[in-house]
Every structure is written in C-alpha cells, then in structure tokens.
C-alpha cells in the first residue's frame, strides 16, 4: 500500500496580474514531502513569479497558497520559517566574506548554533574562501553560497530558482550530488526551477511545465522515462513476420507492434544495421529504421506545442 506523504506545498488557482500582464493564470501545484520537484519553463514563463508568491515576496491576485497544510497568515509565516530559498539568484552583501554573510543571516534568523555556518559552507565546498569578499566570488561560488544560506537552517522545504546558472560542468555535477544528498540523507523536499532541463532530468522525481503563466503539464520521472524511452522505429511490410524474426533469430523480447506495420524495438539501439540485416535476410522488406525517443527537452517542447495548439 502506498502511503501518502504530507503535502508541503499546495497552490490552488494562483493568479498574478500586473497592470497589463497576467504573469500567472490559475496555477494548481502540489508537492509532497521528500519530493524533488523540477519546475520547468522558458524565460518569462512565470517560474520566478510563482516562487516569489511562495516565498512571500509578492501576493497573488487570486488563489490560495498553503505551506505544510496551513493557509492562514500565521501558518504561512511559520511555514516560511521551515523553508530555505534562493529566488532570483543569490543576494549577499558584497563587502562581507562568505562566513560573515552567513553569520549575518544566522543572527537575523536566530539560529543558536554557530557551527551551522561551517557545516553549510563545507557542504557547498566554500569552507576555504577565507577573507575573500562576496564581490570577488565567481558566479558559481555565489550560487553555492546561495545554496549554503538556503540549507543553513536545515529547512524542511528548499526552493531553488535557477541554481545551476553560472556553474561550470564540475560544479553542476557537484550540485546534483548536493541536491540528491539533501533529499535522501536529510529528507528535504526540494522545488528546483531551471531551464537547463538535462540537469533536472537527473535529479527530479516529478516535474511541472509552466508556459505563459499556466501550469500546462505535471508528470513523474517514471512517466517521463516511459514517454522519452529510446527505441528503434522499424517500418516493415509484414509486422507479424518481422516480430517472429526479432524473437527467434535475434532473441529480442523488448519490442512493441504498433498499427501500420510499425515496430518499436527497445534493444539493439547501438546496432540498427544488425536488425536491418536479419529482417532483410528473412525476406522482410524494411521501409525505414531509425532511432527515436526523447529527452526532457523534447517532451517539454511537445507539451508546450500541444498547449499552443
């Protein structure tokens, strides 16, 4: 039996209207405890606006927001104290060091344990920055300091807005590891927005696609795998005969027969020539064979295109 975990974040019909722009339109979203939710959208789609609403920087024009099951003012205030977030990039005082910036927030938030600063800096590999000031940091270091601040109070819910921006390839790999560890070892629920979809694909459990202020699609990692699984699309004259050859001559069992004499072969992706050879050797005419399937990018684009239709 699947146990339903606590709902950490719930947005119901969130709408944000600026003077002549509707930035968000009836957004419904739900994130459960322990999930890593990948929030995907093009620039200007409304990702940051929704994150601002969740962080309390702006108020929605319509709709209801609840955090940790509470939607009243006090409940939201308490919920935000259990949240760590970077919205619109990391923001720190330029003339202070990494340690002093975090010390500033430690005092401000009333965390009693001074050691939480060193722990957070160590987790993002910034423990040796010494007297280097924030203004002298590279973009990647700034991003990592933002993450350090977000996780410093050991929050239950982490919101990261485009955290991969500015990170070098090594930094991206490292960051992915940090996210996975925060989720698995610390049990944090994470909402991470990005337009670098290939990076989200490797960490998220569930996704939401926002387009022109609307949440157009939500799906799980399993659904994504199913929809983006790579395969060989083989169009033949006689699909039944081809299936028999695949099974008997090549031992292939992972395949599907589709209407229109088309087969989807989920193995031998690296060797389509072998499949073609076996079929033609058995007098089965191959009309075409090619590798197909998708990535999160292609899935995202098709979801957006469908919505636009």
Partner 1 sequence: MLNIIRSDLFKIYKGKAFYGVMLGLLGCIILIAGIFKIIQTPAFRTSMSVHEEMFNEDDILSVEEAQQYMPSNGGEFLVLMNQELGSSFLFFLLPFVIAVLGADYSSGAYRNLLSYHSGRGGIYAAKMLTSIILTVLMLVCTSVINIIIGGIVFGFGGFTGIVLLGTVKNIILMLPILISLIGTAHCVLAFTKKTSTTIAFYLVGLTVWSLILQIPALLIPGMEWLLQLDFSSSIKMVGQYAMNADVKIMVPMIFSFLLIAGTYVFGMIKYKTTDFDFS
Contacting positions for partner 1 (CB under 8 A) = 18, 23, 49, 52, 55-59, 73, 76-77, 80-81, 83, 85, 87-89, 91-96, 100, 103-105, 107-110, 149
CA-wise closest residue to 95 among 131, 140, 55: 131
CB of 168 to partner 1, least distance (A): 23
Nearer to partner 1 by Cβ, of 106 and 268: the residue is 106
User: Please, which residue, 41 or 250, has the CB nearer to partner 1?
Assistant: 41
- CB closer to partner 1, 109 vs 307: 109
- SS3 for 230? coil
Give which of 148, 6, 154, 185 is closest to 81, Cα–Cα. 154
| Rounded Cα gap, residues 217 and 219, in angstroms | 7
| Residue 228 three-state SS | helix
In the bound state with partner 1, the residue whose beta carbon lies nearer, of 110 and 260, is: 110
Tell the smallest beta-carbon distance from residue 188 to partner 1 (Å): 16
| Residue 235: strand pairing partners | 262, 288
What is the signed CA dihedral for 217, 218, 224, 226, rounded to 10 degrees? -90
**Phi/psi at 284 (nearest 5 deg)?**
-110, 120
| Closest separation in Å from C-beta 153 to partner 1 | 8
CB of 67 to partner 1, least distance (A): 11
**Separation CA 39–CA 54 (nearest Å):** 13
Closer residue to partner 1 in complex, CB, 149/197: 149
Least distance to partner 1, CB of residue 186, Å? 19
| Of 76 and 286, CB closest to partner 1 | 76
Minimum distance, C-beta of residue 80 to partner 1, in the bound complex (Å): 5
What's the order of all strands across the beta sheet hosting 214-220?
A: 83-86, 157-161, 189-194, 36-41, 206-211, 214-220
């Amino acid at each position: 039996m699947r146990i339903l975990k606590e709902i950490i974040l719930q947005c119901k019909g969130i709408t944000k209207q600026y003077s002549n722009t509707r930035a968000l339109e009836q957004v419904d979203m739900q994130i459960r405890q322990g999930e890593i939710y990948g929030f995907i959208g093009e620039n200007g789609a409304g990702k940051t606006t929704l994150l601002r609403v969740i962080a309390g920087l702006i108020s929605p024009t319509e709709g209801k927001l609840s955090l940790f099951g509470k939607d009243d003012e006090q409940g939201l205030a308490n919920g935000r104290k259990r949240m760590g977030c970077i919205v619109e990039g990391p923001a720190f005082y330029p003339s202070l060091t990494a340690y002093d910036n975090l010390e500033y927030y430690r005092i401000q938030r009333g965390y009693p344990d001074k050691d939480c600063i060193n722990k957070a800096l160590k987790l993002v590999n910034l423990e040796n920055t010494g007297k280097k000031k924030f203004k002298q940091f590279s973009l990647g270091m700034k991003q990592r300091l933002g993450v350090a601040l977000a996780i410093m109070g050991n929050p239950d819910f982490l919101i990261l807005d485009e955290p991969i921006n500015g990170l070098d390839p090594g930094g991206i790999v490292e960051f992915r590891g940090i996210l996975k560890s925060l989720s698995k070892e610390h049990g944090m629920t994470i909402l991470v927005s990005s337009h670098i979809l290939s990076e989200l694909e490797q960490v998220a459990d569930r996704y939401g696609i926002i387009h022109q202020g609307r949440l157009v699609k939500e799906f799980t990692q399993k659904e994504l795998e199913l929809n983006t699984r790579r395969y060989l699309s083989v169009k033949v004259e006689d699909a039944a005969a081809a299936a028999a050859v695949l099974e008997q001559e090549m031992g292939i069992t992972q395949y599907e027969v589709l209407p229109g004499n088309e087969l989807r072969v989920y193995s031998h992706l690296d060797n389509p020539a072998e499949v073609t050879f076996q079929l033609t050797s058995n007098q089965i005419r191959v009309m075409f064979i090619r590798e197909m399937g998708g990535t999160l990018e292609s899935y995202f684009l098709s979801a957006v295109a469908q919505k636009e239709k």
